[in-house]
Structure formats: structure tokens, C-alpha cells
Structure 1
Amino acid sequence: MSAAETDPTPSPLPIRSSSLKPCNANKEHDSEEDKLESATRPHPKPVLPKCKLRLICNNLDHEGSSIFFSNINPAVSLSQAVDAVLSILYQPTKTNKHIPPTRSVSLTLRSMGGVAYTTGSDIDDDHKEIHFSLDYIKDIASERQQQEIQGVLVHEMVHCWQWNGLGTCPGGLIEGIADFVRLKAGLSPPHWKKEAGGEWDAGYQHTGYFLEWIEESFGEGSVRKINATLQNKKYVEEEFWQRLFQKNVGELWAEYSNTLPKPKERDENTKADIDEEMKAHESNSVT
């Protein structure tokens, strides 16, 4: 390099235009946009919980097993039973903490007396077991097999998901809620009937129809409230019903009973129905 040569003069840095804003100038504006987008963006609706479903059949050679699998798809039927129970007894929330934390339900088909029963498993009470009698299934009339099996599954599934007043709820109310759900699911058998008299907590359909009347009289969701009230408190009969319906259960039962025909009236109605059927039959028989 010659002595006459000098270092090149560096080019000047570009001048920032005064129209340009600092990079954080829109920070507040962007934050508001984010909030608006978050508020308007569709969020997933709360959903009811699911649980693991299992099936155990202790004797595939049993006639009841053949009838069961001929009428029932276990995966579909058990899922439908869970959905029916949860949709009738609960409404979903973000946490679903108001729903029992049942983690699994195992259906065991086996030869035994009775119809079915539900219990907590040996693991812990969050794992439930439904035991269903193959002998009972074997004796179901052919035209009733599918409906009766599904009805029993729904009834027993209620016991996997209902509250029990910390173990103090009367058994009749527990069973009545189960049959109320079966009734609401459209799975009541033809021999069920509403009956006046007796005790309100006789259980099963006797109490189930009483709960149906409460639901109709005090509004949809009344039985859901009964179940919810049994979540964290012990059952004390007088205050329980007063708190929910401002009446004691005896008054409610009397009102319900008054809506039903008395035994004599039922007999007369039955006789009138029979007479009418006989007249219709005789009329149709005339050539």
C-alpha cells in the first residue's frame, strides 16, 4: 500500500426514521388483542368423566353367557350405562369434583343366587365391581332379554357413581335412586307399578316412582340435588328433606300417595278394563 493511500472512510449508519416506533410500543395493544382473542376463541365444553371398563366371564359354557353375548355388546352397553347414569345424576364442570372419582368398573358374569350386586374392589373403593348372575340371565323371557340385561346394568352402574351420605343414607333411598335412573333411561320392566301405602324408603321401583313424582313436582334436577346433598354430609332425615323441599319426607310421601288410586279403586279399574276387553273381543268375534 502506498503512502498516498488512506484508510477508507466508513459509511455512515442509517438514520432511524422518526416514524418507526419502539418495538414495545404495541405491547399494550397486542395484550388487549390477545385478551379479546382468548375471550372469543371457542373453549372445549366440560365433559362428564370416563372410566376403564372391564369384563370377566367365569363360565362361557353357561346358557346365561350365551344369552348375554347374543344380546349385548359389552363395550357399547357398559359405556351407554355410564353415560346414562352420569347424564341423569350430574352436570359436567371443569373439574367434575362433584362426581365420585370412580376409576374403573369391572363386570363379572358368574353363577350365583339373586340378580346382581355392586361392591368396591380389593384395590380400593374407586374401583368398582358389578357381579351379575348368569342363572338370572338364563331365566329372562326371550322377548325381554336385551332390555332387562341393560336395565340391570344401568341400575348397578348407579351404585358405582352415586353418593351415600358418608355411608349414612338409607338403603331404600340408595336403591330408589338407582331405579329412578333406570326409569329415566327408559328401561323399566313391565311388572313395575306405582303403589300407594307402605314406607317411602321400601326401595327399588317403590321409591323410584316416588322420586319420579318429586322430580315432576319440584322441577327437573330435583333427584340430582338429592344425590348432591349426600356428597359431603351425613343423612339426617328431618333436616335433609326440609332443606331441599321445605317439607318432611312423610308429608311428601302422603302427597305422592294421594295421587295414586287406592287399592280398591285399582281393583275396580282393573275389573273395568277386563270387562271392556271382553266386550271388544265378543264384538270382534261376531261374524
Structure 2
Amino acid sequence: MAPYSPVYIPVPADWSIPPLHFQVHDSASFGSITFFDNVKPPALLLEAVLHVLKALYTPESAPRHVRSITLILRPMPGVAHTTSNQLDDAHKEIHLSSQYVAKNAGRARDEIYGVLVHEMVHCWQFDSGGTCPGGLIEGIADWVRLKAGFAPPHWSRTHPPEKWDAGYESTAFFLSFIEDKYGSGTVVKINESMRDGKKWDEGVFESVTGRGLEVLWGEYRRTFGRTSGGSGGGEPEVPTHGV
């Protein structure tokens, strides 16, 4: 293992970055050793925050409600999840499974970055006060991961699912398609439409693209291999963790 060397990461002056913390609960495990062999926590956290903020906001529009973010590397089932501190919703925690890191040792750096970018989105994104589809929440998170260049090799946009809001990479590829076809900033506008607890309205797709959601989903499915399906009602495979 290469010796750890301290690294100074300058914080861009135009972005308001909350304090970023790191905890490790099993520092001698293979997963934790793999983690430290591949990433440096200060750079990892700051870069993940900046990927999210630059994808969804401007320095002026970025939310100011997040007071701190703590990454906790610990043994647990699953992959990762984002939650709030028990005492204060403004303090966010991202829990990352050290076992999952160990299982992905062959591509640990990209997978750690990809998972953390996804979870970091949940610290910052809007969700219409919990009224928007959970699949959209997870889809936006994976869209940012995709945009940041950390899509894992098994992701594929071919053979889309029946529902646009199936979540995760399925919805992320749909959002990417809309962004590419109808202009940069489309996903930003969809996220912005959910600010301040505004009730979810799928009409936002038509307002930002000029086409209704069913039409957009039909275009996408025809482009990538399927021609039928609905426009909603899908549920993500695991619980979401939106703001």
C-alpha cells in the first residue's frame, strides 16, 4: 500500500461548501484498506459536492440548507444510503458499505466516486416535499453520476423498462436523452420546479421541452428499442433519500 500523503484541496470561492467530515468504523478491514488505497477522503468529498452543485445549480441558486455532510465508511449490508443526523435535518450523513467497496476492489476508485456522487445528490436535490416519484429522485442522482463520468460498465440504455420512473440508471438515461435533445439545463429546470416543497406536477416536462411526458417517453423507447409502455407509476428498487 502506498504511503498516505496529505493533500490540500482548495475550495472554489464562488461556491458555498459546508463542512465535510469523514468517519471510518473498521479501518483494518479489506474494504477500508481498499478505500484508502484508491481515494483520499478530502478530495473525494469535495469533488463529489462540486459535481452535484455544478450539475444542478449555479453559485447563486445552490441551496443553503445543508450545514454539514459526513461520510461514514462502515460494515453494513447493501451499498450506501443518505440520511439526516438524528438531531438536525440540516446535517447530512452518507453511509457507505465497506463490504461493498471490498466486493468492487477491481474498480474501486470509480465505483466509490460514482456511489458517493449519487448519494451526494440526495443531500442537495429538491423533491417537491416528498410528492414527486421516487424513481425521479433516484434517476436525477444517477443522471449526475452519469454526467460526472462514473457510470459502471453494466449500465445500458438499451431495452428501456415499461415506466419512465423506474428509477436509477433507467430514468437517468431518459433524462440524459431529454437533455441532449431538448437542450442543456433541462434537468436543472426539472429539479428547480420542485424547490421549496412545490407539489409535483409532471407537466414540468412539457413546460421545459414543449412535449408531454408520454410523448417524450415514447420517443425515448422508440430510439432505444421499445415502443409501448406507460408514463408513470414505477417504483425504485430501494428506498430513496431525497431532501
Query: TM class, shorter-chain normalised?
Result: 0.7 to 0.9
SS at match of 1:179: helix
SS at match of 1:212: helix
Distance 1:133 1:72, change over 3 A: same
The equivalent residue for 2:85 is: 121
* Deviations, residues 116-161 of structure 1 (Å, cap 9, x unaligned): 000111132211000000111111042x111111110111000011
Task: Mark the runs of 5 or more structure 2 residues left unpaired by the alignment.
Answer: 1-11, 228-243
TM superposition shift of 1:243 = 2.7
The equivalent residue for 2:195 is: 231
Contact 2:186 2:209 in 1 (8 A): no
The equivalent residue for 1:200 is: 164
Distance 1:46 1:247, change over 3 A: farther
The equivalent residue for 2:127 is: 164
The equivalent residue for 1:60 is: 27
The equivalent residue for 1:181 is: 144
TM superposition shift of 1:88 = 0.6
1:4-83 to 2 correspondences below 5 Å: 47-83=14-50
Determine what percentage of the aligned residue pairs are the same residue. Answer: 46
TM superposition shift of 1:201 = 0.4
Contact 2:48 2:116 in 1 (8 A): yes
SS at match of 1:55: strand
**1:46 and 1:248 mapped to 2: Cα distance?**
39
The equivalent residue for 2:99 is: 135
**2:118 and 2:160 mapped to 1: Cα distance?**
23
TM-score for the superposition, normalised by structure 1: 0.71
TM superposition shift of 1:249 = 1.6
Contact 1:100 1:163 in 2 (8 A): no
SS at match of 1:125: strand
Contact 1:103 1:127 in 2 (8 A): yes
Flag the structure with higher helix content. 1
Deviates more, 1:57-66 or 1:254-263: 254-263
Distance 1:46 1:220, change over 3 A: farther
Task: Mark the runs of 5 or more structure 1 residues left unpaired by the alignment.
Answer: 1-44, 264-287
Distance 1:189 1:198, change over 3 A: same
